[in-house]
Chain A
């Protein structure tokens, strides 16, 4: 099918844009911004097309495209390694999410002045990797793009990030960048080993995921190697206790990178568990599900409780990401259709919502140069739109019906109650804690009497408002009319082995 080139274009556009930007002399900052935003908009449009054109009644893999990369290598089989792109109902929402977040992210990055050329090149590389992972059906390229998504992070955080001063000590951006990179690459080392083991065990001479998915792996083998994927990808998904890179890294990162990272990259982890771990090793997944459930629940509760104790606005969001990714892992661990469905929905819902959060935090930080919650007060009087946007993200985060978060959490909890009622209750407890810290934050920082110190603050920039509006449209869209998402996801979730 020729439409496979849509997926190829989704990867080619950011790379091409990066090359174009590379050719622009660095003094033309405005032109760099335009090229980057045009590319981001193209990706956004493509992702909407892919989402809309995907035929959920047929389900399965669509937009299939194969480009031979390395052929006739004896031990890799005659097909060698192929760039095999295709999407199913689970990848499609993720591609859309990436399109949305990169578009919003490119808009809020207009304010970057320092070496903005290099910034956009790295950002575009990052997003190439993300699209690649969601669309690859070949383990080699899956891993290639996965590492590609991690590669630019160090410089993005290290050069354009910000250090956090806690008074008694400083969390430097270098620390955050190094910690994040080492955790993620460490996690991917496990994945690497898992891929080798799978390839050898399958003995098919191919890295093609659909082919590898047909193989019935030995049960002991599945049980041994599933954890490599579960923990390896889990690190990126913020799996407790390997989540500590996430708040530090997200806080240190510049706004657009936090948005992409918390919004999309953490989803790569959960997506990897689903696409590689669970679909190749159903018995392994079943065996380890209780462990994943316990760790996920711990993460959800731990993240929520930690978020309550934070004074830095960005750390609150950082820990809330850990908490929300905990829900995703809980949903995956239920291994029943409704729970896994909810997990995928939550990946989308959390992605859009947390991107909005980080965009808003960036907007206020640019003006106030602080993120201390308790020094704010009554910002609503100066920045009404900002506060409205932030509140929408917050309400979606605590699961208010009518917004995206509700649909997702509802499904996850329904799935949990079906198999593990106790954990369902714990999940709801985490959601309740979320409500506490979000509402408390809103009232302390944004409502109430205006703190005169902040009288000079102005409404956020128009571009930030556009970015926020785009994100809000999708939060509301999914909250009010979730069918397009549910249709696509449910079909593919049901076709996964071992779900039911």
Chain B
């Protein structure tokens, strides 16, 4: 086994340990620097992971280091990087124990990466747990805040429940196919032409439920609004980015690789979940008056869109729905982080998070208002911004696979989402501010927001590089699939 393949994660884990120990020795004031130390670790790990671009190497039969893994290493590394930077002020002002906080963020990134890299069920499950446990702790990190405790408890109880369901589903699939390896499952399933048995079907349904919880698909979304509202704001941003992307990373591997031969049996379930998720998320979001809850429901709506990419996968069809899904995921995460950082900056200075509190923000902090508006328009799928291009391509990919009805629903839900985003924009631009004082934006946050907003424009106006990256990532997954299934059909 080539242990060096795991270097980026060694770096992350080592860095996490270092951050914790620095926390022990550093004085109170210097602890504020931990955010930058942790962010540097995430960045180093991201850079190191670029060594394996265009490689396809296997670590035992547990992990695969290919373009797909590299894509997510970079992706999660950057998410952790931006989260650390965006947390600095918040943690300094409102939380205790910064060392563990940043260490947990780095550990979450490891969990997410291995969910993408996993080649077999148990590794995937352990990675999922690493991700989830870190997030449970982070959610309840505001120790003296009741809401944060409540959120953490809810998240953990429901999360443990869903993990058990996921595990049960895995055991059923293992029982039917006799292997836990994704490629092995695919081979076993495609060799078997007798149709889907009850045990296998139940196993698949249970796994959908388990993963559906992680990505917050309806009807497994109940934890989302509470967890989002209760968690410290940067963690809310982090959950919305990493829990979903890691969930979808595993979703694509599991359903695009292991279970793809049975696609005709589960596609309609995912399509139904997708329709329900986008409808509920977007319709309920209209009613929200807290910006965290609104973003929570809007993220549920976005998950509905992303599930289209899974539902559009077919056994011998193209891998494009998965590429389109990753593209949308990337665009969504960049946009959503930008929106959240704006909200965090505002919250740091005012401690307010109701939508009505954003009244007149355009007068008080024009830069924040502008960037938040751009992010919201991007989430609504308006042109110039990431959301338009990625939604167009994703909906198109689904329409191409006989899911025009689903694309139709998605288009209408996307239209509805514009309404509640406009309500926030209305507050910022059309309402007189209650106080006239200017809100200064610290230079660090200024830079973070600017970089993310530039990203929103780049994805919206020139998605070719991202698309190429995404496509080489999905190809890594689907070439393996095709090799496995043809091996199964051949003899």
Contact = CB atoms under 8 A, between A and B. Distances in A.
Main DSSP-derived SS at the B contact region:
helix
B50 interface: no
A120 to B, nearest CB: 15
A151 B383 contact: yes
A155 B425 contact: yes
A158 B320 CA distance: 40
Given A189-B415, A196-B404, A151 B377 contact: yes
B412 interface: yes
Contacts of A129: 383
A199 B383 CA distance: 20
A129 to B, nearest CB: 8
B412 A196 contact: no
B333 interface: no
A411 B484 CA distance: 67
A75 B400 contact: yes
B426 interface: yes
B10 interface: no
Interface string B449-478: 000000000000011100110010000000
Interface in B376-402: 377, 382-384, 388, 392-393, 395-397, 399-400
24 contacts: A69-B462, A69-B464, A70-B464, A72-B468, A73-B393, A73-B467, A75-B397, A76-B396, A144-B383, A148-B384, A151-B384, A154-B422, A159-B430, A178-B426, A181-B418, A182-B419, A185-B415, A189-B414, A189-B415, A193-B408, A193-B411, A196-B396, A197-B399, A200-B400
Contact of A151 (B382, B419, B468): B382
Contacts of B447: none
Interface residues of B, number: 36
Name which of A143, A189, A197 has the most chain B CB atoms within 10 A of its CB: A189
Nearest to A70: B464
Contacts of A151: 377, 382-384
Interface in A421-474: none
B318 interface: yes
B127 interface: no
A74 B383 contact: no
B464 A71 contact: yes
Interface string B427-461: 00110000000000000000000000000000000
A188 to B, nearest CB: 8
Contacts of B429: 155, 158-159
Nearest to A144: B383
B124 to A, nearest CB: 27
A79 interface: no
B388 A144 contact: yes
A174 interface: yes
A192 B318 CA distance: 23
Interface of A: 69-76, 129, 140, 143-145, 147-148, 151, 154-155, 158-159, 174, 178, 181-182, 185-186, 188-189, 192-193, 196-197, 199-200
B383 A181 contact: no
Contacts of A189: 411-412, 414-415
Contacts of A144: 383, 388
B87 interface: no
B224 interface: no
A147 B382 contact: yes
Name which of B319, B383, B411, B430 has the most chain A CB atoms within 10 A of its CB: B383
A75 B319 CA distance: 9
B407 interface: yes
Contacts of A75: 318, 320, 396-397, 400
Contacts of B319: 74
Contacts of B408: 193
Nearest to B422: A154
Contacts of B400: 75, 199-200
Name which of A73, A76, A144 has the most chain B CB atoms within 10 A of its CB: A73
A140 B392 contact: yes
A174 B430 contact: yes
Name which of A158, A185, A188, A196 has the most chain B CB atoms within 10 A of its CB: A196
A182 B320 contact: no
Interface in B403-425: 404, 407-408, 411-412, 414-415, 418-419, 422, 425
A231 to B, nearest CB: 14
A141 to B, nearest CB: 9
Given A182-B418, A192-B411, A196-B399, 16 more contacts: A70-B464, A70-B467, A129-B383, A144-B383, A148-B383, A155-B425, A158-B426, A174-B430, A181-B418, A185-B415, A189-B411, A193-B408, A196-B396, A197-B399, A199-B399, A200-B404
Contacts of A188: 415
B428 to A, nearest CB: 10
Contacts of A73: 320, 323, 393, 467, 471
A181 B422 contact: yes
B184 to A, nearest CB: 27
A178 B419 CA distance: 8
Nearest to B381: A147
A140 to B, nearest CB: 7
Nearest to A182: B419
Contacts of B467: 70, 73
A200 B400 CA distance: 6
A73 B321 CA distance: 11
A145 B418 CA distance: 17
A256 to B, nearest CB: 18
B396 A199 contact: yes
Contacts of B407: 193, 196
Contact of B426 (A174, A197, A199): A174
Contact of A74 (B320, B392, B414, B422): B320
A159 B430 CA distance: 6
Contacts of B395: 192, 196
A159 B320 CA distance: 42
A204 B450 CA distance: 39
A200 B399 contact: yes
Interface in B45-94: none
Given A74-B318, A151-B377, A196-B395, A158 B383 contact: no
Contacts of A155: 425, 429
Nearest to B407: A196
Contacts of B462: 69
Nearest to B430: A158
A24 B175 CA distance: 68
A147 B383 contact: yes
Contacts of A71: 464
Contacts of A148: 382-384
Given A151-B382, A197-B404, A199-B396, A185 B418 contact: yes
A158 B427 CA distance: 11
Contacts of B323: 73
A196 B392 CA distance: 9
Name which of B323, B393, B396, B399 has the most chain A CB atoms within 10 A of its CB: B396
A196 B404 CA distance: 8
A71 B462 CA distance: 11
Contact of A147 (B320, B388, B397, B399): B388
A149 to B, nearest CB: 9
Interface string B365-378: 00000000000010
A148 B387 CA distance: 13
A75 B320 CA distance: 7
A430 B100 CA distance: 75
B9 to A, nearest CB: 32
A145 B359 CA distance: 30
A435 B383 CA distance: 41
B212 to A, nearest CB: 26
A185 B318 CA distance: 31
Name which of B382, B393, B430 has the most chain A CB atoms within 10 A of its CB: B430
A145 B412 CA distance: 19
A151 B415 CA distance: 12
A186 B415 contact: yes
Interface in B139-177: none
A76 B396 CA distance: 9
